[in-house]
Structure 1
């Protein structure tokens, strides 16, 4: 302390000497000039700006403490001071600054005058040396205050190209589209945000909100496995979120994975002993999946006093304990008022089996169909197999046995049991005496040989050739055309699609697939013509729009038309990675590299979200970075493309990598 006193204070001395130099001038003051007619002489106009800022800060503080009347008064005072500042600027031949205009826009927004707020925000945008994130977000807030979600979204999307990887922008856009119930657009931006967080900002404040949003969105868009991935990631941080635990249980239930569904339902029961919904859903799962031991769980529910006085669980409990008096009528009434429920149908089928009901097979068929529609393929297969086994192999039951085998084959197909599915449909064909039915089943058999890892295209061609000889149906030509295409026999493919078109000239799909074959044959005019015909027959044929737009971009033809086609395709399917890639490539061709990067990054993130990595997208990203004179990033994406390319070797890309690496080393 004493040492400090002894030490000379140099800043103080400097100010002191400056003060001494000013003293003589005090004795002989010069007349002060007026900076503005609204101010006293010697007072700079910036004083008004400073006072306006101070009043705004005071207003925000009053808002924070819920002193709304004081806040409003301070905002109005700030407006008045800034108006005077702008008058002074006008006297000096100057306009408002970007800062003062933005402050004024904020003031007007806070007092609810959105028209004035927008006017001043536009001035701020115009006067700024560069576009700032703050002014764009302010304009979005103005549109939100007007309760105009569409225009709020447009504000952000218009300027997103300047902030393509900004988490705030992506989160806000994802949120706005979610509020508008536009799930595909919402998933686009949340997926892009997830991509940014994973690679740049793993501790982002948005991380877990994004995981939950993507879980919800993918569930709505029928991507259950992707939804599970995001909900599970969210669940690591928020283990007691009962809503998410229950949603996970529901998704696994839909997928037919009863084991995992039970896992999450048991967690809910452990953490919330009073929960009813999880307990009742568990009861349904035990009934559907573990009928032999379900009585034990129903005993537990009775002990917990969780069997209601009426409803489905009451009816299931009655069946489990063996009290079937009046149960059939009750189940039928419940099904009538709740036609979308599967479990009561399974209960009714069990009751029909026990009672030897003559309508058993009809109930079996209906129950299996519902199970199939709800993607409970294992359960549907189990029901159908039991029904088939109950049939006597008599001529009287021949048609019913064929129908059972067809449906069993369909379930096996959906479960990926390709060989079993083929065997079942072959049995059905062998049993059937109905020629039209045989044609349909032979078509299905040919289709099955193209699926999964079988890839027996020639077998499919042979089956269809025999069928076409007897029944030249357009769908048979179409499928054989597809088989030829997969065999690389593009001329034969074109011929078959042409035959299908001749029989059914209004089918847009036939033109689209013929265009694909023409493209392989390098016949551009024919490809273009068929894609245009596809779009004329189906104005929502986004696949044809994407294909044609990309072709135009590749050939440097009709850039505006390509841009229009691809934007239309994306408006129909904004979360399609192929479409985003195509639009990015169009922008690359137009040398609009920032827009190209925006859409190519969308494409890369969406592809990853869907569980694959497209080497074409990565190569396109490399091309854009190279065009932007960023060879380091270009090489990174070229190498990624080469690593993901399934071709034995991509000599052209390998050569490109060597060339760019040489450029970097120099």
Structure 2
């Protein structure tokens, strides 16, 4: 997606102009002294440094004029002058300065001598009294040119806490990790950069590049609605990026929003009438979602000569025009070669329905399954209901109808239609006579009562209690344990998770959720033990690592273990705001305030990107600023935390606000 990473060249013009006033003959002719064997008496060694800087500037200017040979000669002369300068220093027992070493490193980078560029950058780093942004970026560029993207990332990350809001650092880290295909790591830095742009640098050169990158990353990480938001920010400025417009159409297609999908495809056709892909995708959308107007659109495609002599658009056009001869075999052949396409399956299913094919029932089930897998839940439900209407005419087909209602319930669940999903599940339960199927459906009903806006935990407990009497399955105990937890009946919750563990002692989820219940009961040893068991059974249990690490930090115990656990959790899920918050809090406890701020700002920006604001994160930010003797920022975040609280007032937070307000007023 992205072009090669580039950062601005830095020829140190400010230093060059400092040397313009350099006098080559600082003393009277009769008193001249020889500073260097390579120079005439009275000429200071800095003459060579001045000439090196002049040549370096000429080299960059030649590059801007697109004269690579002249540029190369200038950089080579700059290297030669700096070599002479360093020899002069050596004669008087001095070593290269940080500035001269950095200048030489930059020369070698432009000449493509990457090993020498790195060696001189290391000299500059050793000589520099403090970490320099320009030097860090220079070393990053060298590593990138060497193809060492992991090392380039390490260079930036090791100093990021010193430049936490620097757009160049964050952009490079986002871009480097994108190139490495570390999507979660990349989205962390791009989200942080967006946070900085919105609050500190609204005219940033990275603004729209960041929006596009976040669109792509959220698409890859299956956050389609956030991807849409970010892509729309980008297209508000870059209106003619056909690639992004097409991606927006694809996302809306995946979401089953054919209206907006058509809108973007029609925009592409309007901006680029010769585009074939958008025209053909729009044809499939019309076929699946707007059958009444589909013939009109296909007539337009014929007029535009955009219907090929084979392929899916050709087959759909034949279907719409009523030309059915040989169509069944052609559709089946196309599906075999292109199993991931939904429109030919729908066409074949409708053909089977009209022609009363004997394999209609199998086709219906298969097509609905494909529609479901491709998130076309409304389409899948429509297909299933058509199949259900045909089954309803059969005798003794209760089990088959029960299965259809179960599948319809799944579609409604994915659409967030919780009450409809409950009703469909009850239909399935009433129709089945199979014991195992009945257990599965009752479990599903109990699960649905815990979801969305239903929150009928007591009903869930009742259903599961009856089921457990007949079938004491560990998953039934587990779900009832979750229901009890939501009802704040933590002892009952612990008891059920314990029963699940007895029946299935290798399931790490049971230990994790029992730990959460133990924690509510303030039984820390049991909580700690279960979290450790969870990690032992699943070394990638980042939720348990985060939970245990945070508990250690809150209790101010085992600081090294807390740090290790939370760094492991963050490495597994770098874009998890809760994990970043926990790590920031541990660093705060260790009085590492700059790194704490870095991770807490990551947490705040990631939470905003996900569409929520966590008062705990804001309170933690306030605590860190207060520790840094910055009461103004501390008060800002404490009040922000207070404004986001949804439950009763946090007395400790109110006390902090009053204390800081008093401190500021005094």
Q: TM-score range by the shorter chain?
A: over 0.9
Spell out structure 1 runs of 4+ moving beyond 6 A.
Answer: 25-28
Equivalent residues in 2 for 1:98-497 (5 A)? 98-392=98-392, 394-497=394-497
Aligned equivalent of 1:76? 76
| Pair 1:420–1:27, CA change in 2 (3 A) | closer
Aligned equivalent of 2:10? none
Hey, what's the Cα distance between the residues in 2 that align with 1:392 and 1:548?
Answer: 54
Hey, what's the Cα distance between the residues in 2 that align with 1:373 and 1:550?
Answer: 37
Aligned-pair distance for 1:26?
Answer: 13
Q: What per-residue deviation string (whole Å, max 9, x for no partner) do you get for residues 426-462 of structure 1? A: 1111111001100000000000000111101011001
Hey, what's the Cα distance between the residues in 2 that align with 1:225 and 1:523?
Answer: 40
Runs of 5+ consecutive residues of structure 2 not aligned to the other structure: 1-24
Aligned-pair distance for 1:72?
Answer: 2.9
Aligned-pair distance for 1:299?
Answer: 1.3
Aligned equivalent of 1:591? 591
The answer to whether the 8 Å contact 2:392/2:401 transfers is: no
| Pair 1:243–1:109, CA change in 2 (3 A) | same
Hey, what's the Cα distance between the residues in 2 that align with 1:450 and 1:29?
Answer: 95
Aligned equivalent of 1:64? 64
Hey, what's the Cα distance between the residues in 2 that align with 1:60 and 1:325?
Answer: 70
Hey, what's the Cα distance between the residues in 1 that align with 2:300 and 2:110?
Answer: 58
Q: What per-residue deviation string (whole Å, max 9, x for no partner) do you get for residues 342-388 of structure 1? A: 11111111001001112212111111111111111111111111111
Hey, what's the Cα distance between the residues in 2 that align with 1:183 and 1:331?
Answer: 38
Normalising by structure 1, we get a TM-score of 0.94
Q: What per-residue deviation string (whole Å, max 9, x for no partner) do you get for residues 212-234 of structure 1? A: 11111111111100000011111
Aligned-pair distance for 1:113?
Answer: 2.1
Aligned equivalent of 1:639? 639
| Pair 1:29–1:173, CA change in 2 (3 A) | closer
Provide the secondary structure at the position in 2 that maps to 1:292.
Answer: coil
Aligned equivalent of 1:580? 580
Hey, what's the Cα distance between the residues in 2 that align with 1:58 and 1:28?
Answer: 32
Hey, what's the Cα distance between the residues in 2 that align with 1:638 and 1:247?
Answer: 40
Runs of 5+ consecutive residues of structure 1 not aligned to the other structure: 1-24
Aligned-pair distance for 1:611?
Answer: 0.4
Q: What per-residue deviation string (whole Å, max 9, x for no partner) do you get for residues 530-550 of structure 1? A: 111111111111111111111
Aligned-pair distance for 1:389?
Answer: 1.6
After alignment, is 266-275 or 465-474 more displaced? 266-275
Provide the secondary structure at the position in 1 that maps to 2:292.
Answer: helix
Hey, what's the Cα distance between the residues in 1 that align with 2:627 and 2:652?
Answer: 18
Q: What per-residue deviation string (whole Å, max 9, x for no partner) do you get for residues 373-412 of structure 1? A: 1111111111111111222355521111000000011111
Q: What per-residue deviation string (whole Å, max 9, x for no partner) do you get for residues 546-595 of structure 1? A: 11111111111221221111111111111111111111111101110000
Provide the secondary structure at the position in 2 that maps to 1:550.
Answer: helix
Aligned equivalent of 2:18? none
| Pair 1:613–1:102, CA change in 2 (3 A) | same
Hey, what's the Cα distance between the residues in 2 that align with 1:261 and 1:27?
Answer: 79
Hey, what's the Cα distance between the residues in 2 that align with 1:133 and 1:26?
Answer: 35
The answer to whether the 8 Å contact 2:188/2:602 transfers is: yes
Hey, what's the Cα distance between the residues in 1 that align with 2:639 and 2:126?
Answer: 42
After alignment, is 281-290 or 291-300 more displaced? 291-300
Aligned-pair distance for 1:37?
Answer: 3.0
After alignment, is 38-47 or 329-338 more displaced? 38-47
Structure index of larger Rg = 1
| Pair 1:28–1:425, CA change in 2 (3 A) | closer
Hey, what's the Cα distance between the residues in 2 that align with 1:204 and 1:398?
Answer: 63
Aligned-pair distance for 1:93?
Answer: 3.2
Provide the secondary structure at the position in 2 that maps to 1:34.
Answer: coil
Aligned equivalent of 2:6? none
Aligned equivalent of 1:507? 507
Hey, what's the Cα distance between the residues in 1 that align with 2:661 and 2:302?
Answer: 72
Provide the secondary structure at the position in 2 that maps to 1:237.
Answer: coil
Aligned-pair distance for 1:154?
Answer: 1.1
Q: What per-residue deviation string (whole Å, max 9, x for no partner) do you get for residues 293-336 of structure 1? A: 21111111111111110000111111101111111111111111
Aligned-pair distance for 1:87?
Answer: 2.4
Aligned equivalent of 1:15? none
The answer to whether the 8 Å contact 2:518/2:527 transfers is: yes
Hey, what's the Cα distance between the residues in 1 that align with 2:74 and 2:511?
Answer: 67
Hey, what's the Cα distance between the residues in 2 that align with 1:28 and 1:192?
Answer: 60
The answer to whether the 8 Å contact 2:516/2:527 transfers is: yes
Provide the secondary structure at the position in 1 that maps to 2:31.
Answer: coil
| Pair 1:436–1:321, CA change in 2 (3 A) | same
Hey, what's the Cα distance between the residues in 1 that align with 2:446 and 2:393?
Answer: 27
Hey, what's the Cα distance between the residues in 1 that align with 2:605 and 2:222?
Answer: 18
Aligned equivalent of 1:605? 605
After alignment, is 94-103 or 317-326 more displaced? 94-103
Aligned equivalent of 1:518? 518
Aligned-pair distance for 1:92?
Answer: 3.0
Aligned-pair distance for 1:279?
Answer: 1.1
The answer to whether the 8 Å contact 2:101/2:121 transfers is: yes
Hey, what's the Cα distance between the residues in 1 that align with 2:334 and 2:394?
Answer: 36
| Pair 1:465–1:631, CA change in 2 (3 A) | same
Aligned equivalent of 1:532? 532
Hey, what's the Cα distance between the residues in 1 that align with 2:90 and 2:560?
Answer: 44
Provide the secondary structure at the position in 1 that maps to 2:172.
Answer: helix
Aligned-pair distance for 1:62?
Answer: 3.1
| Pair 1:29–1:405, CA change in 2 (3 A) | closer
